[in-house]
Amino acid sequence: MTLPAWGADDAPSEQVVVEADTQHEGRETETSAALTVIPLDGSLPISGEVADALETAAGVRIQRLGGLGGWSTVSIRGSSSRQVSVYLDGIPLNPDGATALNLSELPTTAFERIEVYRGNPPPQFGAAPMGGVVNLVTPAKPEAMGFSATAGDHSTQRVGAFGATTLETKSLGIDAWTSVEALSTEGDFSFFQDRSTVFNRFDDAFDVRQNNDKSQLNFLGRIRGRADLGTLSLTQGLLQRDEGIPGPGAAQSIGSRLKTERSFTAISGDSNGPWGRTQLSGWRIQTDELWDDRNGEVGVGQEWEERNTRMLGAQSTTDVVLLPSVVSTLAASARHDRYDRMDLLTDTEESPITRTTWSASPGVRAQLWKERVQADATLFVQGLHNEVFGDAPFADVLGALSRSETQLVTAKPRAGVLVRFAPNTVAKASWGHYLRPPDFTELFGNRGSVVGNPSLLPESSQSTDLGLRTVLPWHRLKMVADAAVFRAKTDNKIVFVQNSQRTVRPINIKGSLVHGVEAALTVELFDVLNSRTSFSRTWSEDLSSAEAYKGNQLPGVPTMEVWQQTALHWNETAAIGHTFSFTDGEYWDRANWNRAAPRHLHSAFARISPFSGGPEFEVEARNLTNQMVQRVARDPLNPRDDTMVLKSIDDFNGYPLPGRTWLVSLRWNA
C-alpha cells in the first residue's frame, strides 16, 4: 500500500521536496491551500532580493524602510508582518510571530523557490500562522557551482557563490551544498525633504540619506544523506550583519547602529514506507543583537544593549495510510524560547525570559470520487507556557481548553477541500481558526521605545477562502490563471499605539475584518515570452468602537495592488524584462487622515549571455522613471484646502524610498 501521489505534495520534508522538485508547478493544484510557488529562476533580475520575488505573488505586500538591503517585511492578505510565519525548508525562523522577520537578511542566491501559503497552510507549519506562511526552499538538486556579483548605485556590491558535490555508493548517497553571499551598500540615496513644513515650500530640498549603510555576510550549507531507510540532512546557516539605523527622513540619525549575528542549525530526517511517511526535525536558532544608540537619536534616550534570543525546537510529521484514499496526519512540535538582555550602559543584566510551547495537530485527508475531490481537516491543539517575570493573563482567553495565569491550551480547527474539474483545473476552499500569542517584545517591551503590556491577549482569527486555478497548455502557449476571494476576521488584534513622545505600547483592539479578491495570470509563449501578472483588491475595516477609527480602513493595507512583469528571452542568449507595480488606496494611520498617493513604479533589466554555457551579464534599472515624490493633500482635515504638496515616496510613513537605481550584475552557473 503506497501513499497516493497527491499525498506527498504539501509536506516540506526533504524527500518530498526532491519528488516534487520537477513538478512544483503542480503543487498549487494538488493542495486545498491557497498556494503560490515562486521559482527563483532567470525570469527575475540577478540582483533581486527575496522581497522582490515575494511581491510577485497576489495578496503579498512588501514594505521597505528604504534602500537595497534595508529592512523589509512581508504581510499577506492584509495581515501584520508578525502574523506571517517564515520558514526555511520547513524550519520556522520567526515562530509564533516572535518577531517580524527582516527579509533582507535572507540570502537571495540560496533558494530555488519560495512557497507562499496565503491560506490553510499544511499542519507541518504549526498552529500560529494566521497571516500565512512563507517557506523558503533550498535547491533539491543544486547545480555544481555558481557565482554572481552585482555592483551599482549607492556603493552597492553583492557577491554570491554556491557549490555542490555528490558522493554516491551502492546504498548511500551523500550530497553537500553551500551558499555564501556578501552584501554591502552605503544606502546614501537622495530623497525629498520637506522638513515637515507643508505650508512653507521655501525649505523644501533634496537631501541625502545618512547612516543607511548595510554590510552583511550570509552562509548556508547542507549535508544530506540518502539511503533506503530515508534521508537525513544537516543544515547550518550563519548571518553577520552590521547596519546603520537612519531613523525617519525628517530626523536622520548619525550614529545609531545595529549588529546582528544569527546561527541557524537544523537536523532533519524522514523515512517512508508502505505504512506512510514520517519526518522529524530539530533546530536551534541563536540571534545576538547589539543595539547602539548612545546618542539617543532613534530610541528613548541613550541605549546600548545586547539582546540575545535562542530558540530550540523540534517537530515531527507522520502520515499514515489508513485506507487507499485516506491518510491520517499527526504533526507535533515543541519549542523553548529564551530571551536575554544586557544593558551595556549600566552594565546590568535582566533576568532571562523564557517560554515553552507545544502543539499537536491530528488531521485527516481523504480523496473521494476517483480522486476528484480532496478533503482535509486538522485540529491544532496548541499549548503555551510562559515562564516569565510576571504572569501573562491567559485566564482571559475565551474558548481555551485549559487556562491559568501561566499556561494556555487551545484547539483550533481547519479544513479544506479541493475539487478537480479537469486534470489541470481545480477549485479549492478552506476555513480555519488561528491563534497568535503575543511575543516577548509585545509583552515586556524593549526598555526603549516599546513599552510592554503583560496583559495582552493572544490574537485569534477566522479565515475563509475560495479559489480557482487552471493551467491551460496549448501547443507552445501555456497559461496559468488563479483567482480567489478571501475573508479574515481577527479578534483582539495587537496594535502598537503611541503613548508618549517616543514610546509605543501594544494593546488589543476589538479586531479587524479583511476581505478581498486576488488574481494571477502567467503566460509563457514559445519559450520566448514570459509574463506574470498579479492583482489584489482588498477591503479592510477597523472594528474598533472608537469614533476616530470605527469602520476605517486598516493602515498599511492598500485597496489595490498590481504587479506585472514581462520578459522576453532569445534562447539562452539574451533577455529583457520590464516590471510594473501599482499601489493605491493606502492610509498611513488608523484615523485615515493621511492617504498615500497612487504609486506606479517601473523597473527594467537587460541580460546577455554571449557564450553558451558562459556567464550572463545584466543591467537593471530599478524605479526607472525615478519616482521620488508623491502629491498628497496639504491638510487632509480641511475640505476647503485642496492644495496638494509634495512628499517623499515611502512604504513606512517618514522613511523615504530611493529613486532610480542602476545595478550591473554577472552570473555564472556551472
Partner 1 sequence: MATPSPDGRGLFHSAGTREPKDLMTAPIAIAALSFGLASLNGCDSKGSDTGNTPSLADTDADADADADADADADDAPTTMVFVSTDFEVYSLGTMDLATETLTDGIAALPGDASVQSVGNGLIYNLNRFGFDVLRIYEPGSWSAPAVELSVGDGTANPHDVVECDGELYMSLYGGTVIKVLHPQTGALLGAVDVSEYAEGDDIAEISALFCRSGTVFAVAQQMNPTTWLSEGGTILKVDTASKSVTNAYPVSPNPRPKNHPTDPNQLLLFSGHYGTGDGAITAFDLTTGEESDPIAYDADYGITFSGFAATETHAVIMGTNYDYTATRVLCVDLSTWTMTEGFSIDRYAGAMSHDGQGTAWIGIPTDYTVEPLVQGLQAFDIDSCSPRGSLIESVLPISSMTFY
The contact set with partner 1 (CB under 8 A) reads 195-200, 202-203, 247-248, 250-252, 295-297, 301-302, 345-346, 497-502, 504, 507-510, 544-548, 552, 587, 589-595, 633, 635-641
What is the smallest separation between the CB atom of 489 and partner 1, expressed in angstroms? Answer: 17
Instruction: Rank residues 295 and 318 by Cβ distance to partner 1 and give the closer one.
Output: 295
> Containing H/E element for 453?
none
Instruction: Rank residues 111 and 549 by Cβ distance to partner 1 and give the closer one.
Output: 549
What is the smallest separation between the CB atom of 249 and partner 1, expressed in angstroms? Answer: 9
What distances in angstroms separate CA 369 from CA 423, 427, 429, one per listed residue?
14, 15, 17
Instruction: Rank residues 142 and 506 by Cβ distance to partner 1 and give the closer one.
Output: 506
Instruction: Rank residues 165 and 638 by Cβ distance to partner 1 and give the closer one.
Output: 638
What is the smallest separation between the CB atom of 257 and partner 1, expressed in angstroms? Answer: 17
How are beta strands 133-137 and 85-88 bridged, if at all? parallel
Contact indicator for 265, 236 with CB cutoff of 8 Å: yes
What is the smallest separation between the CB atom of 553 and partner 1, expressed in angstroms? Answer: 9
What is the smallest separation between the CB atom of 149 and partner 1, expressed in angstroms? Answer: 37
Instruction: Rank residues 33 and 443 by Cβ distance to partner 1 and give the closer one.
Output: 443
Instruction: Rank residues 521 and 591 by Cβ distance to partner 1 and give the closer one.
Output: 591
Contact indicator for 627, 661 with CB cutoff of 8 Å: no
What is the smallest separation between the CB atom of 362 and partner 1, expressed in angstroms? Answer: 37
Instruction: Rank residues 32 and 544 by Cβ distance to partner 1 and give the closer one.
Output: 544
What is the smallest separation between the CB atom of 581 and partner 1, expressed in angstroms? Answer: 22
What is the smallest separation between the CB atom of 248 and partner 1, expressed in angstroms? Answer: 6
Kindly tell me the burial class for residue 360, based on how many C-beta atoms sit within 10 Å of its own C-beta (0-12, 13-18, 19 or more). Answer: middle
Among 591, 581, 532, CA closest to 560: 581
3-state SS class at 54? helix
**CB contact burial 70-99 (16+ within 10 A = b; e otherwise):** bbbbbbbbbbbbbbbbbbbbbbbbbbbbbb
Residue pointed to by grid coordinates 530539530: 282
What is the smallest separation between the CB atom of 350 and partner 1, expressed in angstroms? Answer: 16
How are beta strands 85-88 and 599-608 bridged, if at all? unpaired
Instruction: Rank residues 284 and 595 by Cβ distance to partner 1 and give the closer one.
Output: 595
Instruction: Rank residues 390 and 413 by Cβ distance to partner 1 and give the closer one.
Output: 390
Measured distance CA(107)–CA(1) in Å, rounded: 41
Instruction: Rank residues 360 and 646 by Cβ distance to partner 1 and give the closer one.
Output: 646
3-state SS class at 72? strand
Instruction: Rank residues 37 and 504 by Cβ distance to partner 1 and give the closer one.
Output: 504
Question: Which own/partner contact pairs does 336-340 have at CB distance under 8 Å and 24+ positions apart?
Answer: 336/311, 336/312, 337/95, 337/98, 337/309, 337/310, 337/311, 337/440, 338/309, 338/310, 338/311, 339/307, 339/308, 339/309, 339/310, 339/440, 340/306, 340/307, 340/308, 340/309
Measured distance CA(379)–CA(227) in Å, rounded: 33
How are beta strands 133-137 and 644-648 bridged, if at all? unpaired
What is the smallest separation between the CB atom of 199 and partner 1, expressed in angstroms? Answer: 4
How are beta strands 574-584 and 599-608 bridged, if at all? antiparallel
Instruction: Rank residues 143 and 641 by Cβ distance to partner 1 and give the closer one.
Output: 641
What is the smallest separation between the CB atom of 586 and partner 1, expressed in angstroms? Answer: 11
Residue 174 Ramachandran class (φ > 0 left, ψ -120 to 50 alpha, else beta): beta
What is the smallest separation between the CB atom of 589 and partner 1, expressed in angstroms? Answer: 5
Q: Which amino acid is at 634?
A: R
Total residue count of the chain as it appears in this document: 670
Instruction: Rank residues 248 and 282 by Cβ distance to partner 1 and give the closer one.
Output: 248
Instruction: Rank residues 230 and 558 by Cβ distance to partner 1 and give the closer one.
Output: 558
Q: Which residues contact 188 (CB under 8 A, 6 or more apart)?
A: 154, 155, 208, 209, 210, 212, 213
What is the smallest separation between the CB atom of 462 and partner 1, expressed in angstroms? Answer: 21
Contact indicator for 177, 138 with CB cutoff of 8 Å: yes
Measured distance CA(73)–CA(51) in Å, rounded: 8
Instruction: Rank residues 545 and 612 by Cβ distance to partner 1 and give the closer one.
Output: 545
Task: State CA 357 to chain mean position distance.
Answer: 22
Measured distance CA(32)–CA(29) in Å, rounded: 8
DSSP letters of 493-532?
Answer: EEEEEE-SSS-EEEEEEEEEEEEEEEEEEEEEETTTEEEE
Instruction: Rank residues 476 and 550 by Cβ distance to partner 1 and give the closer one.
Output: 550
What is the smallest separation between the CB atom of 353 and partner 1, expressed in angstroms? Answer: 19
Measured distance CA(34)–CA(117) in Å, rounded: 6
The residues that bridge with 402 in the sheet, in sequence order, are 409
